[in-house]
Amino acid sequence: MTRAYNFNAGPSALPLPVLQKAQAELVDFRGAGMSIMEMSHRGKEYEAVHNEAAGLLKELMAVPADYDVLFLQGGASLQFAMVPMNFLPAGRKAGYILTGSWAEKAYGEAKQFGEVFEVASTKSDNYRRIPAVADLRYPPDAAYIHLTSNNTIFGTEWSAFPDTGAVPLIADMSSDILARPVDVSKFALIYAGAQKNLGPAGVTVAILRRSLLERANTAVPTMLRYATHAKDNSLYNTPPTFAIYLVGLVLGWVKEQGGVAAVYKRNQAKAALIYDVVDNSGGFYRGHAAADSRSLMNITFRLASEDLEKKFLDEAKKAGFVGLGGHRSVGGCRASAYNAVPEEACRALSQFMLDFQKNNG
């Protein structure tokens, strides 16, 4: 079997040992005579898998004891609505930091439920950078401040997060959760669709400070209240059992790698392999993100013309690289080097880029 060099932006690469373990257990889950997909979500076997996944996430991210880990559905996109539905009361305003398309979508969705304001935006810079933390201004009675930790489409990432004090800080970490150590206690709520760094599509993780629920709106449909899921350990209704099982396997794999700190170190080395080629190409490759705002996960770059980009992408495809086209909204090239992308794939890509420049520069 040959595994592709998979740089897909999401859904994206999963660790090979995780896929192999899932394959080995697919038909007969640990001697049960059935697949985990065929089991009751109320049974002991599934419950153990469910709790182990939540426990591993708490352990790996050093989640403080006053937080809950929730498994939700509807993707990060439903979180864009659930956040204001639950935490934006009438008469208050929520601040959004606009650093790219996903942040804009979260902002647009919140507008449907209450009053919002822009804390900062880097749109006029084509989202090339993250705003300086010192420049963020918001009133002390803001309902919450929302940010997107990693901008999957533009390839920028916060290197340090603002300290919002008593104002709850809420983060969409869909594309860099577990990529680097994060101080969870700075956030009232972190959410992430699983399909980039955590597992397959179909489950969304939320890490929620319990005290935030005390100020939650109550006129919200049952399934869209965080309190519903927190109260029932994410088993209020049937959860996406197979997706949560796979998340648990991915988390076990991260732990085997040495935890988030070790994965972070590897991610830095992986991204450097590609950024170094961009930086030393004399302008042949042009990075989109400002150097101090670069993402470890999504490396975005352009070539001199769209024709040359097309040639690059065509030849890359023939050489076994998958998913290097930029997002349809921005064009160019993007290499998504999530946790599960092996260093070997990044090394192969950096060599391919060097060779392509030699032949076309």
Query: Number of residues in contact with ligand PLP, rule: CB under 6 A?
Result: 12
Active site residue 196: yes
Residue from 8, 12, 148, 339 in contact with ligand PLP (CB under 6 A): 148
Residue from 122, 174, 197, 281 in contact with ligand PLP (CB under 6 A): 174
Kindly indicate which of the ranges 49-57, 71-79, 182-190, 344-352 contains the residues binding ligand PLP, using the contact rule CB under 6 A. Answer: 71-79
Residue from 13, 60, 76, 243 in contact with ligand PLP (CB under 6 A): 76
> Would you count residue 77 as binding ligand PLP (CB under 6 A)?
yes
> Would you count residue 102 as binding ligand PLP (CB under 6 A)?
yes
Cβ closer to ligand PLP: 75 or 168? 75
Residue that is written with structure tokens 């983060």 in the block: 171
List 172, 176, 253, 270, catalytic entry: 172
Q: In terms of Cα–Cα distance, which of 87, 106, 111, 88 is closest to 209?
A: 87
Kindly indicate which of the ranges 167-175, 214-222, 229-237, 259-267 contains the residues binding ligand PLP, using the contact rule CB under 6 A. Answer: 167-175
List 102, 158, 253, 270, catalytic entry: 102
Kindly indicate which of the ranges 172-180, 230-238, 304-312, 338-346 contains the residues binding ligand PLP, using the contact rule CB under 6 A. Answer: 172-180
Residues 175-234 that bind ligand PLP (CB under 6 A): 175, 193, 196
List 158, 196, 253, 270, catalytic entry: 196
CA angle, 71 then 72 then 75, to 5°: 125
The token pair at 312 is 């690059």
Cβ closer to ligand PLP: 195 or 281? 195
Residue from 172, 212, 295, 324 in contact with ligand PLP (CB under 6 A): 172
| Distance in angstroms (rounded) separating the CA atoms of residues 78 and 68 | 19
Interacting residues toward ligand PLP by CB under 6 A? 10, 75-77, 102, 148, 152, 172, 174-175, 193, 196
Active site residues: 102, 172, 196
